[in-house]
Structure 1
């Protein structure tokens, strides 16, 4: 494994790329929104750490109390995303990024680290097998599939917020809860809105623009959640093609 890691800070955020959307012009607007959101989070202890290369190799985490997810607990770090893609896979970068996060948690005197995963691999959620190998254990489960995994240093455990266990809403139309943490959301919302308008599909959008809203989500939420006919469909970000496949239209 070669290369060095850097952290995105208020001093370098305008110059550095956010590698999850690197080199993709259709996500440029989303990157701008993401950077503005991050500027407001960095002083809260939010961390975006990546390899200093032109690639998708990064980890993003925050103090759980300030993490925009329906998970609660005391003195934990929450990992939003850990991603190693393309030719960088299999070279130890994921383990190195996780080790850095663990070291940071110890340095801060945290009780542990947690992350949302699933028993069966799902898009946009970290792989349970990898997490288990580095010591994470399942501490809470919703629908016998979505799992909150934690690496506890002192025996304490975080948990899903009670509202997240509903996994149902009253609205019957296609309903999407989305946050500004992911740079893909702007283009996804544009494609979905255009398709629904063109095909007269009722659509209800909820922009999660506060920590309080994120903590009280009615289902699993990492930065995106989809409901249809009142039922939870998943956390996969959707473009037009994924939407058509999901709805069968």
Structure 2
């Protein structure tokens, strides 16, 4: 098995492939935005570990205290993403990456590791059934069907911040909260913005650009959150068809 993994650092960040599916020889606005976002997060203990190939084999996690999600807890790691797709799939790389995260957490004296899940697997969220094989359990839920999964080493557990369970905002417009953690966000925002302009749909796009804003969000969040008519809809990135379904409500 190829075990040539690389952790991104502030020194190699500019030169390394970021492991998402975007393929472009030209500068891609989403990828460059992600690099900038990572350059600040790495200094906070954010870990991006990837297989040394131009493919989608990576894990991203961070100390929960500095993770841009409305989840609270002491001394945990939060896993944003764990993906293995394409040709590398089926070679045990996902297990290696998860085991690396768990070993790292124990070595640093963490209380455990947590991640966002759902009663039914959602697109754009890491595979929760895979995480449960390592002992992750549901420790908190929302009325929208989202779950907080955690593997505790000492019996303590994190939880969704109370505001994350609100799932309501005053605005009735299509409202999207987003950050630059995912390279796809730039293109999805632009697609939705164009659709709304052409079809005269009132929409607000709110960039989450500080840790405080992320912790105070009125919904669960991994890097994206959608509201319509004042109610929370999804953490899934929206293509045009998905957007049309929401707007029909």
TM-score, normalised to structure 1, is 0.96
Q: Which structure 2 residues correspond to residues 95-134 of structure 1 after superposition, within 5 A?
A: 95-134=95-134
Structure 2 match to 1:188: 188
User: Residue 195 of structure 2: SS of its match in structure 1?
Assistant: helix
| Aligned partners of 1:64 and 1:72 also within 8 Å | yes
User: Residue 163 of structure 2: SS of its match in structure 1?
Assistant: helix
CA displacement 1:177-219 (0-9 Å, x = unmatched): 0011111111111111111001100001110000000001101
Matching of residue 230 in structure 1 with residue 230 in structure 2: yes
Matching of residue 5 in structure 1 with residue 5 in structure 2: yes
Q: Which structure 2 residues correspond to residues 180-219 of structure 1 after superposition, within 5 A?
A: 180-219=180-219
Instruction: State how far apart, in whole Å, the 2-side matches of 1:17 and 1:89 are.
Output: 18
Instruction: State how far apart, in whole Å, the 2-side matches of 1:232 and 1:159 are.
Output: 19
Structure 1 match to 2:93: 93
Instruction: State how far apart, in whole Å, the 1-side matches of 2:243 and 2:172 are.
Output: 16
- Runs of 5+ in structure 1 lacking a partner? none
User: Residue 186 of structure 1: SS of its match in structure 2?
Assistant: helix
| Aligned partners of 2:228 and 2:246 also within 8 Å | no
TM-score, normalised to structure 2, is 0.96
- Runs of 5+ in structure 2 lacking a partner? none
Structure 1 match to 2:60: 60
Q: How many residues align?
A: 249
Instruction: State how far apart, in whole Å, the 1-side matches of 2:193 and 2:25 are.
Output: 19
Matching of residue 176 in structure 1 with residue 170 in structure 2: no
RMSD: 1.6
CA shift, 1:26, in A, is 9.1
